[in-house]
């Protein structure tokens, strides 16, 4: 294999995770409220649904080609969900929180449609057969397949005695069998269910002893979820994993013998998955194995997502180990493996003995043996994952490094419920602080992150088609929409966008529609401009390059200027563009109206970086506190920027006889610079509910005049309280940022992304 593959190929693959989690109230009781409506119809949302219970969330990532993306997406799903469940929390543990008696446990509700009825009936049957409490156990399901290149190359280098499909099946069957053999190690490493709450199933709890308030365990327990206390078939079932056909036959036999109702009821630690999940067994036969699902992994309470990135990286290596490791012909390997699992699950923290091919071997020795083989693979294939392997080796050598040990310690201190609730609260605060961004996509523009987040929440299939372009697709049913930078959509036509891009064209169109814009002239040469300079002297004017942005090359003369200054202003403007505009100066404040469809969904005004006094703290201290807001960051990754107490600010204060140590009076506003750009620490203030309808109507008319569906209208208003106040449209923007309205410094956080999705008819 050594020279056949690149490191990138071997570490890539297809990785998807499902993570369940109970909704609980502030006291740790299972929530009895319905699944939030924002998540849409639960059978259609590919990301957020429920499992058995109405209160049992299931978060599902798409398949990504590397585990890091999968991990981050799972965190993102957590953040999204946590913000939509009001004062509830996501229980950070596989074993349940405080659960009521069976009859109180809410089974998931579905629509009255055929599909919904079947889903509901299936759950009711499980409820009768296994009881409600066990159904509430939550877990991590890890879905993976190798990079197809790997299998193709292996096939090319094989004797090709079978066809490709069989070859590929054989690879996944080998991995499956080895997974079963070595799964005890994953359970040891990732087990987190060594303690249960007293409200859990009586049969289970009564075997354990109370180690803390309401918390029950046994010496050395590692993963009750993977033990007899967990969720398993009534009797142990051992499907035949020799070939796909044998597997399908054996599962069908279980069904025929009434041991299970359907293949879905086979609670094996691993499942073979096929292209068509609705007709799994047929699809396995026809299409072959598509991917594998590992089901032994507990929710890790120390991870918001329920599973750690390093652990995911390790599983990657573990998969390669399972692929490479030769198998023995020991006959009772399935029974032996189950026995090993049970030993680890119930006593794995201790120095237990396992059996390998009938021979006894200590947990530690066997673990070290496996790790050494993984080390070898890492070296041979130059995978550069040494650090991760050593951390895992450390856990094998020291049970105190296991998650179970750590959570039990915490439970002993705080009690089962509080220990987990405190963690859940911390995660929820984290989600709140992250509310303006989408984990895994922080390199994208905030507006795109916000829109993706909203789409994912509503179960619209969201794909990043081109990262550097902030280009996404949104898909639901037959409908596909492509969106760039959150506000560039199919709803706007190209000519409209190009008209908005061009200041002169915009003005002409607005004028034609009787909307007030600053009067002005356009010059194509300095000579021509100076030829008419007589007309501009001593008039309130703005001189600006036609198409540059961000204020470069612009001169503003609110009180007019003499010939020399106007000449200089022209000279400057012509440095930036071959066409220069002269416009009348309009006094007042500038407001950004965000028009979506035919309504104003947000109005924002920006003020320069400032400190507001409290009679006590200095400017320096006030700014330090202001900068602590998670909304403020550096480099446009947050809705607001941290205020820099730089030379410019110092100079600005100095001109006013102040410095950073000045202590402003209560409510005194001290500005730190002239310009109100958010990029230099300016504040964004929401005025959506303050500005009268008249001006909103003008904004909508402006947007309509140019034919825009999404439009940022920049309007100067002298005094918005006075409806007869002078106004003028300064500019129309075809790519207005939405984050400034979604997360203003002062005011209501407007749900702009929702409006965009509505415009797109999702």
Pick 88 or 481: Cβ nearer a second copy: 481
- Closest distance between a second copy and the C-beta of residue 489, in Å? 5
Say whether residue 531 binds a second copy (CB under 8 A).
Answer: yes
CA distances from 556 to 330, 338, 518, 542, 582 (A): 87, 79, 13, 4, 10
Pick 94 or 496: Cβ nearer a second copy: 496
Beta bridge partners of residue 54, listed in sequence order: none
Query: Which segments within 389-438 are labelled E, that is strand?
Result: none
216 near 196, Cβ under 8 Å? yes
Judged by CB under 8 A, the chain residues 209 through 268 that form the site for a second copy are none
CA distances from 458 to 10, 59, 371, 373 (A): 35, 13, 43, 45
Say whether residue 482 binds a second copy (CB under 8 A).
Answer: yes
Judged by CB under 8 A, the chain residues 714 through 743 that form the site for a second copy are 734
Determine the interface stretch with a second copy among 185-193, 255-263, 504-512, 665-673 (rule: CB under 8 A). 504-512
* 1, 309, 504, 607: which one binds a second copy (CB under 8 A): 504
- Closest distance between a second copy and the C-beta of residue 540, in Å? 19
Pick 503 or 626: Cβ nearer a second copy: 503
- Closest distance between a second copy and the C-beta of residue 8, in Å? 5
Q: Say if strands 196-197 and 215-217 run parallel, antiparallel, or are unpaired.
A: antiparallel
229 near 246, Cβ under 8 Å? no
Judged by CB under 8 A, the chain residues 370 through 409 that form the site for a second copy are none
Which class for 503: exposed (0-12), middle (13-18), buried (19 or more C-beta within 10 A)?
Answer: buried
* 285, 505, 526, 556: which one binds a second copy (CB under 8 A): 505
* 468, 628, 721, 724: which one binds a second copy (CB under 8 A): 468
DSSP state of 172: H
CA-to-CA distance for 59 and 78, rounded, in angstroms?
A: 8
Say whether residue 432 binds a second copy (CB under 8 A).
Answer: no
The contact mask relative to a second copy for 607-646 (x = CB under 8 A, - = no) is ----------------------------------------
CA-to-CA distance for 44 and 62, rounded, in angstroms?
A: 14
Give the angle subtended at the CA of 55 by the CAs of 50 and 57, to the nearest 5°.
40
Pick 3 or 628: Cβ nearer a second copy: 3
DSSP state of 35: P
Say whether residue 548 binds a second copy (CB under 8 A).
Answer: no
- Closest distance between a second copy and the C-beta of residue 444, in Å? 14
Pick 41 or 471: Cβ nearer a second copy: 471
- Closest distance between a second copy and the C-beta of residue 717, in Å? 27
Determine the interface stretch with a second copy among 528-536, 621-629, 638-646, 676-684 (rule: CB under 8 A). 528-536
Q: Using alpha carbons, select from 129, 15, 140 the residue that is nearest to residue 68.
A: 15
Determine the interface stretch with a second copy among 173-181, 230-238, 354-362, 526-534 (rule: CB under 8 A). 526-534
192 near 299, Cβ under 8 Å? yes
Say whether residue 9 binds a second copy (CB under 8 A).
Answer: yes
| Residue 479: alpha-carbon gap to chain centroid | 23
The contact mask relative to a second copy for 682-711 (x = CB under 8 A, - = no) is -------------------------x----
Say whether residue 489 binds a second copy (CB under 8 A).
Answer: yes
Judged by CB under 8 A, the chain residues 134 through 163 that form the site for a second copy are 149
DSSP string, 684-696: EEE-TTTS-HHHH
* 157, 207, 562, 578: which one binds a second copy (CB under 8 A): 578
Pick 207 or 578: Cβ nearer a second copy: 578
Sign of CA dihedral 168, 172, 174, 175: positive
Say whether residue 497 binds a second copy (CB under 8 A).
Answer: yes
Structure tokens that stand for 368 in this block: 């070290």
- Closest distance between a second copy and the C-beta of residue 572, in Å? 20
300 near 306, Cβ under 8 Å? yes
The label of the residue with tokens 């140019």 reads 706
Determine the interface stretch with a second copy among 310-318, 460-468, 550-558, 617-625 (rule: CB under 8 A). 460-468
Pick 202 or 384: Cβ nearer a second copy: 384
Q: Using alpha carbons, select from 267, 323, 315, 321 the residue that is nearest to residue 295.
A: 267
Determine the interface stretch with a second copy among 390-398, 499-507, 626-634, 648-656 (rule: CB under 8 A). 499-507
* 350, 391, 579, 718: which one binds a second copy (CB under 8 A): 579
Beta bridge partners of residue 605, listed in sequence order: 685
Pick 386 or 531: Cβ nearer a second copy: 531
CA-to-CA distance for 714 and 721, rounded, in angstroms?
A: 18
The label of the residue with tokens 């296991």 reads 402
Determine the interface stretch with a second copy among 2-10, 49-57, 326-334, 425-433 (rule: CB under 8 A). 2-10
338 near 183, Cβ under 8 Å? no
* 465, 669, 746, 748: which one binds a second copy (CB under 8 A): 465
Say whether residue 66 binds a second copy (CB under 8 A).
Answer: no
CA-to-CA distance for 270 and 275, rounded, in angstroms?
A: 17
Say whether residue 583 binds a second copy (CB under 8 A).
Answer: no
Say whether residue 496 binds a second copy (CB under 8 A).
Answer: yes
CA-to-CA distance for 125 and 627, rounded, in angstroms?
A: 55
Say whether residue 69 binds a second copy (CB under 8 A).
Answer: no
CA-to-CA distance for 31 and 706, rounded, in angstroms?
A: 50
Pick 498 or 746: Cβ nearer a second copy: 498
* 406, 488, 589, 632: which one binds a second copy (CB under 8 A): 488
| # binding residues, a second copy (CB under 8 A) | 40
- Closest distance between a second copy and the C-beta of residue 192, in Å? 35
The label of the residue with tokens 């998955």 reads 273
Q: Say if strands 632-633 and 640-641 run parallel, antiparallel, or are unpaired.
A: parallel
Say whether residue 550 binds a second copy (CB under 8 A).
Answer: no
| Residue 595: alpha-carbon gap to chain centroid | 27
Q: Using alpha carbons, select from 550, 530, 236, 189 the residue that is nearest to residue 374.
A: 189
Give the angle subtended at the CA of 239 by the CAs of 238 and 244, to the nearest 5°.
160
Structure tokens that stand for 423 in this block: 């963690």
Residue 296 DSSP SS3: strand
Scored b (16 or more CB within 10 A) or e, 69-91 reads bbbbbbbbbbbbbbbebeebbbb
Say whether residue 72 binds a second copy (CB under 8 A).
Answer: no
- Closest distance between a second copy and the C-beta of residue 494, in Å? 4
- Closest distance between a second copy and the C-beta of residue 106, in Å? 40
Q: Which residues are at the interface with a second copy (CB under 8 A)?
A: 6-9, 149, 465-466, 468-469, 471, 481-484, 488-499, 502, 504-505, 508-509, 528, 531-532, 534-535, 578-579, 707, 734
């Amino acid at each position: 294999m050594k020279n056949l593959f690149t490191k990138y190929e071997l570490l890539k693959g297809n990785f998807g995770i499902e993570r369940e989690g109970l909704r609980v109230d502030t006291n740790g009781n299972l929530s009895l409220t319905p699944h939030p409506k924002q998540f849409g119809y639960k059978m259609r949302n590919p990301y957020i649904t429920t499992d058995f219970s109405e209160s049992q969330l299931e978060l599902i990532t798409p398949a990504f080609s590397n585990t890091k993306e999968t991990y981050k997406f799972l965190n993102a799903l957590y953040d999204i969900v946590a913000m939509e469940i009001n004062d509830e929390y996501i229980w950070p543990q596989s074993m349940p929180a405080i659960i009521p008696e069976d009859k109180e446990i809410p089974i998931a509700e579905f629509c009255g449609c055929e599909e919904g009825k079947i889903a509901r009936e299936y759950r009711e049957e499980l409820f009768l057969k296994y009881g409600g409490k066990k159904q509430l156990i939550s877990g991590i399901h890890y879905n993976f397949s190798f990079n197809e290149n790997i299998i193709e190359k292996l096939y090319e280098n094989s004797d090709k005695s079978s066809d490709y499909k069989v070859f590929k099946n054989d690879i996944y069957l080998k991995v499956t069998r080895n997974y079963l053999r070595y799964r005890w190690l994953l359970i040891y490493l990732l087990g987190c269910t060594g303690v249960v709450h007293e409200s859990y199933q009586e049969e289970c709890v009564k075997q354990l002893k109370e180690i803390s308030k309401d918390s029950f365990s046994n010496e050395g327990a590692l993963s009750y979820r993977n033990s007899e206390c967990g969720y398993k078939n009534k009797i142990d079932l051992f499907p035949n994993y020799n070939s796909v056909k044998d597997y399908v036959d054996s599962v069908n036999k279980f069904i025929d013998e009434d041991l299970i109702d359907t293949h879905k009821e086979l609670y094996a630690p691993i499942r073979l998955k096929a292209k068509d999940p609705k007709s799994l067994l047929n699809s396995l036969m026809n299409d072959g194995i598509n991917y594998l699902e590992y089901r032994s992994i507990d929710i890790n309470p120390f991870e918001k997502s329920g599973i750690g990135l390093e652990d995911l990286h390790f599983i990657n290596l573990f998969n390669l180990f399972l692929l490479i490791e030769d198998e023995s012909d020991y006959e009772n390997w399935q029974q032996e493996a189950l026995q090993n699992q049970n030993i680890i699950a119930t006593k794995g923290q201790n120095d237990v003995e396992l059996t390998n091919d009938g021979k006894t071997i200590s947990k530690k020795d066997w673990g070290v043996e496996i790790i050494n083989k993984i080390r070898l693979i890492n070296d041979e294939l130059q995978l550069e994952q040494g650090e991760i392997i050593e951390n895992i080796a450390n856990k094998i050598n020291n049970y105190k490094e296991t998650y179970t040990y750590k959570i039990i310690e915490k439970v002993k201190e705080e009690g089962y419920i509080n220990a987990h609730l405190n963690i859940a609260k911390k995660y929820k605060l984290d989600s709140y602080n992250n509310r303006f961004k989408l984990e895994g996509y922080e390199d994208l523009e905030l507006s795109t992150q916000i829109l993706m987040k909203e789409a994912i929440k509503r179960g619209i299939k969201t794909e990043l088609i081109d990262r550097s372009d902030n280009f996404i697709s949104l898909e639901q049913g037959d409908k596909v929409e492509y969106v760039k930078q959150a506000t560039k959509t199919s709803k706007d036509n190209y000519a409209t966008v190009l008209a908005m891009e061009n200041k002169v064209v915009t003005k002409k169109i607005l004028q034609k529609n009787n909307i007030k814009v600053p009067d002005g002239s356009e010059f194509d040469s300095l000579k021509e401009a100076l030829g008419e300079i007589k007309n501009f002297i001593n008039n309130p004017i703005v001189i600006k390059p036609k198409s540059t942005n961000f204020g470069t090359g612009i001169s503003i003369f609110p009180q007019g200027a003499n010939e020399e200054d106007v000449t200089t202003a022209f000279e400057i403007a012509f440095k930036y563009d071959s066409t220069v505009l002269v416009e009348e100066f309009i006094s007042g404040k500038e407001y950004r109206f965000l028009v979506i469809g035919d309504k104003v969904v947000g109005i924002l005004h920006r003020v320069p970086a400032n400190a507001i006094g409290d009679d006590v703290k200095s400017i320096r201290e006030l700014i330090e506190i202001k900068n602590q807001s998670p909304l403020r960051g550096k480099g446009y990754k947050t809705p607001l920027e941290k205020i820099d107490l730089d030379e410019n600010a110092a100079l600005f204060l100095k001109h006013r006889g102040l410095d950073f140590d000045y202590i402003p009076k209560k409510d005194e506003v001290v500005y730190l610079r002239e310009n109100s750009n958010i990029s230099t620490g300016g504040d964004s203030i929401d005025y959506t509910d303050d500005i009268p309808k008249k001006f909103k109507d003008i904004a909508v008319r402006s947007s309509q005049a140019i034919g825009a569906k999404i439009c940022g209208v920049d309007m100067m208003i002298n005094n918005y309280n006075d409806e007869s106040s002078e106004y003028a449209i300064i500019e129309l923007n075809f790519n207005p940022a939405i984050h400034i309205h979604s997360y203003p410094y002062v005011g209501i956080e407007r749900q702009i992304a929702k409006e965009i999705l509505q415009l797109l008819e999702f």
